[in-house]
Amino acid sequence: MSQNTQNPYFYTLDGTQLEIVGATYVYIYNDNSTSNESVTIANNETGQSINLQASCVMELSPDRGNTLQTLILTPNGDNLVYVTMIGGTAQIL
């Protein structure tokens, strides 16, 4: 059996934006221990966005062999947002 050699990347956002490009998997947890604010997840290519409420989780993974389009995560307040990403690149904005 072969090993999966993809390395996960972990980010903690505390009011800063994160831009994710070409990931094969993204897990987002919006913690409510500091505030009950949402986090906005926006698709940079289509302009669509969704607000993830406090204490909620979102998992994103494309069809096999594909990658996700550019996503921008923006915490709406001083809440902590935990992100796990496989593949692609990310940068704090």
For the segment 2-9, the average pLDDT, to the nearest whole number, is 75
pTM as predicted: 0.88
For residue 11, count CB atoms less than 10 angstroms from its CB and return exposed for 0-12, middle for 13-18, buried for 19 or more: middle
For the segment 61-80, the average pLDDT, to the nearest whole number, is 90
15: confidence class by pLDDT, cuts 50, 70, 90:
confident
- Summarize pLDDT for 21-68 with one digit per residue, the tens: 999 999 999 998 777 889 999 998 999 999 999 999 999 999 888 999
